[in-house]
Amino acid sequence: MELKWLEDFISLSTTGNFRISSEQRFVSQPAFSRRIKSLETWVGAELIDRSIQPVTLTEPGREFKPIAQLIISKAYQIRSDIRGQSIELREHLNFSSLSTLAQFFIPHWLKQHSDIFNIDFISVRSDFMGLESYLASLDSAETDFFIGYQDKSQSMIIDPLKYSSLLLATELLLPVVSPDPQGNPRWWLPDKPKAAIPYLRTNSHTDKNHSHLYWSVGHHIQTHYAELSFNTVYEASCLSAIKAMVLQGFGVAWLPLSMVKDDLASGALLRAADTSSEIQVDIKIFKSTGNHSMKLHKYWQALSAKHKFGNCI
């Protein structure tokens, strides 16, 4: 008896039609019919009443259906458990990170540190809701390390007694715009435009992961561009969505250099001001001081030696 025979049988019991079920099971109708017949031979009874359309289950078929469903469910559950155990037996590390860093920083960083992270399995999660949840995952050992931003104004305070940290790199947030038809920046902030400047920003209320970047940019605008008028025309909880709107010419946004460097090189995006308008933020890795795993201690020592003074991306 083969598992696919049982899955064929469950499909046919649902559709009541050999042609439809064969299409669902990606097999020709004659081959599908032979597999149903093979199952009936194995069981020793007719399971399908073919005398009417749509076909129905015979009495033995109705008795066998819940058993078939149970066998299928158990088979896949056992396979999943075994695969999970296989991963657990391999050396692995669980990271958490903001989605922007997971996409634009971590792959390159891991490659740079392949000598340290020469292990079987690495997981990176970006689905926690807010900074508190990321840190809580460290407390519970659900994750081993958290990689996040920390700005120079310390608007994101993480208790150093509870969480050790290392500076991995520094990131720059810079104002960018799309080019006008002549290839020039649509808005150039040093020119002090008289009209309100359309501004695209992260949503500080829904985007708890990037809210500290929102406040950093807001503070920078108040400090350096108090004489200019910025009109918020768009906000989103995803930096990639904001970048897409900037590319379409909707306004100015401060975005991480790692996210826009290729667009700057190609001319798809342009700086909206000189380098004095850049905001420097740190990229740090955190671990719980309450996690005394020897495995984590080994990696932390190796990272500490490599990132004693941090580095610039």
d(CA 117, CA 240): 28
Write out the two tokens for 185.
């920046």
Q: How far is CA 271 from the centre of its chain?
A: 28
d(CA 246, CA 240): 10
Instruction: Give the Cβ contact number of residue 34 at 10 Å.
Output: 13
For the stretch 127-141, pLDDT in tens is 776 777 888 889 888
pLDDT of residue 61: 93
More confident residue, 93 or 186: 186
Residue 185: is its pLDDT beyond 60? yes
pLDDT of residue 246: 96
For the stretch 27-40, pLDDT in tens is 899 999 999 999 99
Q: What is the mean pLDDT of the chain?
A: 85
Provide the pLDDT confidence category of residue 308 given band limits of 50, 70 and 90.
low
Q: Highest mean pLDDT range out of 41-45, 98-102, 207-211, 276-280?
A: 41-45
More confident residue, 277 or 81: 277
d(CA 11, CA 18): 9
pTM of the model: 0.61
CA torsion angle 66 69 70 72 (round to 10): 160
More confident residue, 143 or 83: 143
Provide the pLDDT confidence category of residue 179 given band limits of 50, 70 and 90.
very high
Residue 90: is its pLDDT beyond 60? no
pLDDT of residue 78: 84
Overall average pLDDT of the 300-305 stretch? 90
Of 140, 161, 156, 158, which Cα lies nearest the Cα of 289? 161
Provide the pLDDT confidence category of residue 156 given band limits of 50, 70 and 90.
low
Please give the domain boundaries of the chain with CATH numbers for all domains: 3-89 (1.10.10.10), 92-148+285-306 (3.40.190), 170-281 (3.40.190.10)
